[in-house]
Structure 1
């Protein structure tokens, strides 16, 4: 690796260092494949780790897949994300979560796009253990240069959420807005994507979620990339006088075709 790439990677590692905890709000922007001419793209990775010390074992499984397919006219895009994460020992389960997301994007002009999506996610370690939603909205590409892009999106979502203790289900109408900025640095070939989400209930803004995220990718070869992803998530539940918050770091290698 060139010296400049090494120092960039080292900087990202130090900057993003934090606890690994999964939230119930996932940044789709960081997963998109920002290409106007490539019809099919796929990213995937798989992690398995097992250690045993005198009968005290820890198992860790992590898998991710992202696929994007564009129609011949490049105006229709089909997008899929799936991942699963498990961390457990002999006596305790630290994480058990999965996430599935399917999205359709229709380009109407250089500025304006329509989107529709379905999502299912589960996490046994959070206040909200299960979340299912369907939604649709608009996406505006208001800045587009050779090295940078900026997007604003707004969607309506109908969601079904389940709380473990006490066991309850909630049926909500929620708004989702986001601002996403991406920048490509030609000299180092570093790609940065920063996104902020805000998701309040229509009838109670105090019940809301916020996600701030920074993603960086640095190519190590034609098919291999170093990636760093940092999230800060906050969720407010004024009805129960509680809240969830988490910080999340993912560092690794990504294979891409």
Structure 2
């Protein structure tokens, strides 16, 4: 723990000093489950159809890099998407996520994360997140894994409105995640996030994501994702609820 507070956490704070923006991102579906130490990663692409303010078509690519040893896990995610909706094109929907996970015991982990992202469709010019908290392993059997996270995070957001609006807040960021592997070729991940403001609990977001990975080979899989987001106080002009359905392929190495 002293190593974590003296070295890892200050490094993350330096990195998170950059401007940012984001939607809720389901990190659970991006973790690579492995019993071995060392480097792992994946990359892939997708074609998406979503309904928000307008019907939106998008295509994108992502990269994922992960390092794990007996006590520590380092996770980096990058994503860039092309979106088209309402006869307009958007080419700057991107996010970067960095997370550190320290194993304290078989039950308890400690997490620190930061995230940078932009999303013009949701009128988010910049949003910056940084936070930390405990992660509990409630079940770790071969077929079913259950995790509960109870984190606190600081959030800065700048909206694409006229005039631009910026706001700061501190939120709880709790999640419950199930990973089910009924067969050797099928993996199902279900994750629900709850993010209320700590000073105003009526201002909250809920995200549910259902993901299925069908392994074609040991490293190549077809993916299906369903996302539902409810935001009690979204940016002006954006509906409180929206959904996204996506399908594509993923290659892990």
Alignment of 1:150-161 (within 5 A): 150-161=146-157
Specify whether residues 60 and 232 from structure 1 end up closer, same or farther in structure 2 by C-alpha distance, changes over 3 A only.
closer
Q: Which residue of 1 aligns with 2:82?
A: 86
Residue 207 of structure 2 is matched in structure 1 by: 211
SS in 1 for 2:101: strand
C-alpha spacing 1:205/1:47, structure 2 compared with 1 (3 Å):
closer
Number of equivalenced pairs? 222
User: Residues of 2 paired with 1:207 and 1:199: CA distance?
Assistant: 8
How far residue 105 of structure 1 moved from its aligned partner, in angstroms, is 0.3
Distance 1:165 1:185, change over 3 A: same
Q: CA RMSD in A?
A: 2.5
Q: Which residue of 1 aligns with 2:118?
A: 122
Are positions 1:44 and 2:59 aligned together? no
Q: Which runs of 5+ in 2 are unaligned?
A: 1-21, 48-56
- In the aligned structure 2, how far is the partner of 1:111 from the partner of 1:150? 11
Cα 1:151/1:223, change in 2 over 3 Å: same
The answer to whether the aligner puts 1:75 opposite 2:74 as a matched pair is: no
TM-score when normalising by structure 2: 0.81
Instruction: Give yes or no for the alignment of 1:232 onto 2:228.
Output: yes
Q: CA deviation at 1:249?
A: 1.3
**Once the 2 structures are TM-superposed, how far is the Cα of residue 243 of structure 1 from its aligned partner?**
4.5
* Bigger radius of gyration: 1
1:97-133 CA-partner distances (Å, limit 9, x unpaired): 1111000000011000001011001001114332101
Q: Are positions 1:181 and 2:178 aligned together?
A: yes
Q: Which residue pairs with 2:3 in the alignment?
A: none
TM-score by length of 1: 0.79
The residue that corresponds to 1:107 in the other structure is 103
Q: Show the counterpart of 1:27.
A: 26
- TM superposition shift of 1:95: 6.2
- 1:250, 1:83 → 2: CA distance? 14
Q: Provide the C-alpha distance between the structure 2 equivalents of 1:159 and 1:103, rounded to a whole number of angstroms.
A: 16
| Structure 2: distance between partners of 1:241 and 1:47 | 27
Structure 2 equivalent of residue 11 of structure 1: none
Aligned to 1:206, what secondary structure does the other structure show?
Answer: strand
